[in-house]
Amino acid sequence: MKILHTSDWHLGRSLYGRKRYDEFFEFLEWLGTTIESENIDALLVAGDIFDTSTPSNRAQELYYRFLCRVAASSCRHIVVIAGNHDSPSFLNAPKELLRALNVYVVGAMTENPEDEVIVLKNEQNHPQAIVCAVPYLRDKDIRTVEPGETIDDKNAKLVLGLKNHYTEVCAIAEQKQAGFEKDGHPAIPIIAMGHLFTAGGKTVDGDGVRELYVGSLAHVGEDVFPSSIDYLALGHLHVPQCVGNAEHIRYCGSPIPMGYGEATQEKKVIVAQFNTTTPTIQEVLVPCFQPLERIVGSLDGIHTRLEQLKQDDSTAWLEIEYTGSDIIGNLREMLDDTMADSAMEIRRIKNKRVIDRVINASQEDETLDDLNINDVFERCLETFDVLPEDRTELTGSYNEIIKDLQEEDKNAE
């Protein structure tokens, strides 16, 4: 059996106001072609299909068109789990209809862990794999709140809750595996899925993951996952990577750069082939559908790089940060003139000297585009002269509140 593991599409995401539907369309077209050319039997999508819990009509159209295309191909099964950006109830709403296309959707943890155990069968109705489709587990699903808890207490409970849930779901899979072996079907692999942050996971600035999780909330180690898992398809981190030294526990990463911090990354999907319970793993590079480039430096350095890109007929979207010593108030106009006859777009300009001057003066002209949610909180700590020894706990509590707000399912009734 051959599976393809992908995650973190974030359909509907924009880049400083620029819609990216063309990129998403090209990626899904490429993915559909890859599934057909590689003769993939099962597609696993490990969460964050959409960028928000209320995706646009166009984002939904891309998703459902893709599912229909793949369902009509040689790929017999599609398994989709929700990520932290997804609305569980939104993903679950058409699940019974999608089952007719052999699309299995698990939007949220239920009272019955067997709902997360899916047996994939071949054309002869023989079992080929057992999938433990564990969605993103929200705090309220796996942790009880008690008064007086410290951040460490909460983290320990979260890790234990995750471990217990995977143990419970995998135990059901192990029972099924043993039953299949008795019926003459040995070596049926157990493939698990998840959307979470593992200890030591690599992140990048601006990916929306780093800011929320690093140094604050629970990170799980590879020991959380039962040893019966033959392959674990993870989502949430945008950098392709293995977990610890475990080659079979992997993040495939996001398929397109979600921000300029990811612009130079090689994007991948993972193909795992099972002839026994030990998979042969292959990384497949995803083409770049829209180049992004970040230019940092003096005015001369920026102009030199822009001229090089123009000579190469680049179509890149640019983030430019001016770090020269002179204050240039009309930087935007100057760069727009340079770019007038090119196919490139400037998505963001950071004029460090002007920003520093404004901040040091009154901060009146600063916009929220120059800050993220953590920057705003840091400013509050500085404004109220919060002591350094108090900031760690306050920041942890703040991150927990932000995480809870992001986990709220706005579509639930």
Give pLDDT, residue 354.
57
Contact between 81 and 46 under an 8 Å Cβ cutoff? The reply is yes
Quick: pLDDT tens for 62-111: 999 999 999 999 899 999 999 999 999 999 999 999 999 999 999 999 99
Which residue ranges make up each domain of the chain? Answer: 2-285, 292-407
Asked if residue 166 has pLDDT above 70, the reply is yes
Instruction: Give mean pLDDT, residues 212-219.
Output: 50
CATH of 292-407, one of 3.30.160.720, 3.40.718.10, 3.90.1300.10, 3.40.109.10: 3.30.160.720
- Are 127 and 188 in contact by the 8 Å Cβ rule? The answer is yes
Q: What is the overall mean pLDDT for the chain?
A: 87
pLDDT of res. 353 = 61
pLDDT at 206: 58
Q: Please give the share of the chain, as a percent, with pLDDT higher than 70.
A: 89
**3-class secondary structure for the chain?**
CEEEEECCCCECCEECCEECHHHHHHHHHHHHHHHHHCCCCEEEEECCCECCCCCCHHHHHHHHHHHHHHHCCCCCEEEEECCCCCCHHHHHCCHHHHHCCCEEEECCCCCCHHHHEEEEECCCCCEEEEEEECCCCCHHHHCCCCCCCCHHHHHHHHHHHHHHHHHHHHHHHHHHHHHHHHCCCCCCCEEEEEECCECCCCCCCCCCCHHHHCCCCCCECHHHCCCCCCEEEEECCCCCEEECCEEEEEECCCCCCCCHHHCCCCCEEEEEEECCCCEEEEEEECCCCCCEEEEEECHHHHHHHHHHHHHCCCCCEEEEEECCCCCCCCHHHHHHHHCCCCCCEEEEEEEHHHHHHHHHHCCCCCCHHHCCHHHHHHHHHHHCCCCHHHHHHHHHHHHHHHHHHHHCCCCCC
* pLDDT bucket at 351, cuts 50 / 70 / 90: confident
Residue 406: predicted pLDDT: 65
Q: What would the mean pLDDT of 184-207 be, rounded to a whole number? A: 86
Q: What is the pLDDT of residue 210?
A: 46
pLDDT band at 209 (very low <50, low <70, confident <90, very high): low
In this prediction, residue 393 carries a pLDDT of 74
**Nearest CA among 306, 299, 385, 374 for reference residue 340:** 306
Task: Tell me what pLDDT residue 316 has.
Answer: 95
Pairing verdict, β 268-274 and 2-6: antiparallel
What is the band of 215 on the pLDDT scale with cuts at 50, 70, 90? Answer: very low
Tell whether the model's pLDDT for residue 259 goes beyond 60: yes
pLDDT for the residue numbered 361: 47
User: What is the separation of C-alpha 22 from the centre of its chain, rounded to a whole number of angstroms?
Assistant: 19
Tens digits of per-residue pLDDT, 284-299?
999 999 999 999 999 8
Q: Are the beta carbons of 107 and 89 closer than 8 angstroms?
A: yes
pLDDT given at position 362: 43
Q: Where residue 401 falls among pLDDT bands split at 50, 70, 90?
A: confident
Q: Please, which pLDDT band fits residue 370 given cuts at 50, 70 and 90?
A: low
CB 202 within 8 A of CB 237: yes
State yes or no: pLDDT of 381 exceeds 90.
no
Q: What is the mean pLDDT of residues 180-203?
A: 91
> Given 3.40.50.720, 3.60.21.10, 3.90.700.10, 3.40.50.300, which CATH number is that of 2-285?
3.60.21.10
What is the pLDDT, as a whole number, of residue 310? 92
Contacts of 348 (CB under 8 A, 6+ apart): 16, 318, 319, 320, 369
At 211, is the pLDDT very low, low, confident or very high (cuts 50, 70, 90)? Answer: very low
